[in-house]
Amino acid sequence: MAEDRYYITTPIYYVNDKPHIGHAYTTLACDVIARFMRLDGRQVHFLTGTDEHGQKVEKSAKAAGVEPKAFTDQVSQNFRDLVKVMNFSVDDFIRTTELRHIKASQAIWDALVKSGDIYLGSYAGWYAVRDEAFYAESELVESPPGRKVAPTGAPVEWVEEPSYFFKLSAWQDRLLKFYEDNPQFILPASRRNEVLSFVKGGLNDLSISRTSFKWGVPVPGDDKHIMYVWLDALTNYITAVGYPDTDAPLFKKFWPADLHMVGKDILRFHAVLWPAFLMSAGIAPPKRVFAHGWWTNEGQKISKSLGNVIDPLELVRTYGLDQTRYFLMREVPFGNDGDFARKAMIGRINAELANGLGNLAQRSLSFINKNADGKVPQPGALTDADQAMLGAARGLLAKMRASIALQELHKALADWMDVVVQANQYIDAQAPWTLKKTDPKRMETVLYVLAEVLRQLGALIQPFMPDSAAKLLDQLGVPEKDRVFANLGEAGALKPGAALPAPEGIFPRFVDPSEAAPPKSPPKAAKR
């Protein structure tokens, strides 16, 4: 029996960025899981938000001539807009500049102090003014020989500033034990290995305060310091459920979180620092951190300097919302890096959505509309073929549930697609258009089976493509309240005789504008 609650989070996004495909991808994966869990009967808390502190924000605000808070009010809106456009079903949107978060951050700080894991020391290192960054001794390069500079070529100087430290070094063994006791804390497994070897290599204490700028959460009792951004940022996950009030209803219900979804670039902060902070503060660590991969654009690494950043809003405009959601979840084994190729996108839309599910629904439903009086057909005795078809559709939930539990989102879609293909094979093999003339009763049975299969397919695709799934279920006359997974299988089977609305297309083919009307004879350049 599955637990009836589920807490899932995205990272909080750094407001200095414009939302790009990476942000959309992370939150989309969470949205799919959150929707799946809700439909599967769980109470879900789905959190996203924005990280609004740090030196870069302070600088950007200054450059824009406004106070940091006014600046972040403005830019964090971009991320709230993304939530709307992508149809993300978030339950809470947290901002690190909110009072509740500042209180929570200071509270966890106090808890770390109380546990004896914080001490005052000084942070020293090679600092490059030009890069505004510290570099490790090992990162420095000699150029020209004898003179050490940053890998970026910037000159460095040795600087020291007072800083509070977290005794991370003391947590190595406890972290390793934690990983060992919770083998699925880090997924995919390959990432787990990386983290393990990193921790086994030894941990240094971590500088967790700064004095060089002001835009952050003040360290309790020492206003000259602000908290290190990562300690501040990670704390959002408990802020949102009521910390420091560990008796708060949300906290008691939802902590520890079931899943922190993150990009592979920030895995370590979540898989090493965060559990150490939490355990030190006497709070249970989350159950899982999943690190997903990155996208390339037509085989090219994405970067601002290359100018090939993918704008999710643009994708939605061009290909449609559900098509975009489907492609991102379907194209790549979740966890791996993937390539966004226009050709692949169009291929998926047309082959799987338009020709696969769309056409299956259209041919089935319009046949019912024309030949079964526009009502749910009356099934007779089921043949082996019928039962095999129904069995495949009704067995889908269990398969998809198993995949979603391990964040194998692509696998859930592959299993779903298998049933779409099987249904197209079924309709061809049963040929209701022939049965219409030879055995109308049998035809009704076949059509009923098809309608039932479509109902399962529609319900199960809701987490991935909410709007399109709703259209399909509308056409099957399934009331909104009956679209939860508890109604899959025989429990919520369609009632023969129920009137069905006239069907209409769900997924149009994507016609590539650049190929739509090829010129008959390419105009030859006039030579003269």
Tell me which residues touch RNA (CB under 7 A).
11, 14, 16-17, 51, 54, 56, 123, 125, 133-134, 136, 138-139, 168-169, 190, 193-194, 197-198, 201-204, 206-207, 228-230, 233, 264-266, 268-269, 333, 336, 347, 351, 354-359, 361-363, 366-367, 370, 421, 424-425, 427-429, 431-434, 505-509
Q: Shortest distance, CB of residue 200 to RNA, whole angstroms?
A: 9
Between 58 and 245, whose beta carbon lies closer to RNA?
Answer: 58
The whole-angstrom separation of Cα 315 and Cα 324 is 7
What's the Rg (C-alpha) of the chain? 27
8 Å CB contact between 432 and 365 = no
Question: 161 - beta bridge partners?
Answer: 123
8 Å CB contact between 321 and 467 = yes
Between 136 and 491, whose beta carbon lies closer to RNA?
Answer: 136
The whole-angstrom separation of Cα 297 and Cα 315 is 12
Tokens of 154: 């910037």
Residue matched to tokens 């509740």: 100
Between 168 and 494, whose beta carbon lies closer to RNA?
Answer: 168
The whole-angstrom separation of Cα 457 and Cα 397 is 10
Question: 50 - beta bridge partners?
Answer: 13, 95
Between 180 and 265, whose beta carbon lies closer to RNA?
Answer: 265
Query: Coil, helix or strand for 364?
Result: helix
Between 148 and 253, whose beta carbon lies closer to RNA?
Answer: 148
Q: Shortest distance, CB of residue 360 to RNA, whole angstroms?
A: 7
Between 36 and 171, whose beta carbon lies closer to RNA?
Answer: 171
Q: Shortest distance, CB of residue 528 to RNA, whole angstroms?
A: 39
DSSP string for residues in 35-73: HHHHHTT-EEEEEEEEE--SHHHHHHHHHHTS-HHHHHH
Q: Shortest distance, CB of residue 157 to RNA, whole angstroms?
A: 16
8 Å CB contact between 103 and 110 = no
Tokens of 494: 């369609």
Q: Shortest distance, CB of residue 246 to RNA, whole angstroms?
A: 26
Q: Shortest distance, CB of residue 314 to RNA, whole angstroms?
A: 19
Q: Shortest distance, CB of residue 521 to RNA, whole angstroms?
A: 23
Between 333 and 395, whose beta carbon lies closer to RNA?
Answer: 333
The whole-angstrom separation of Cα 141 and Cα 153 is 8
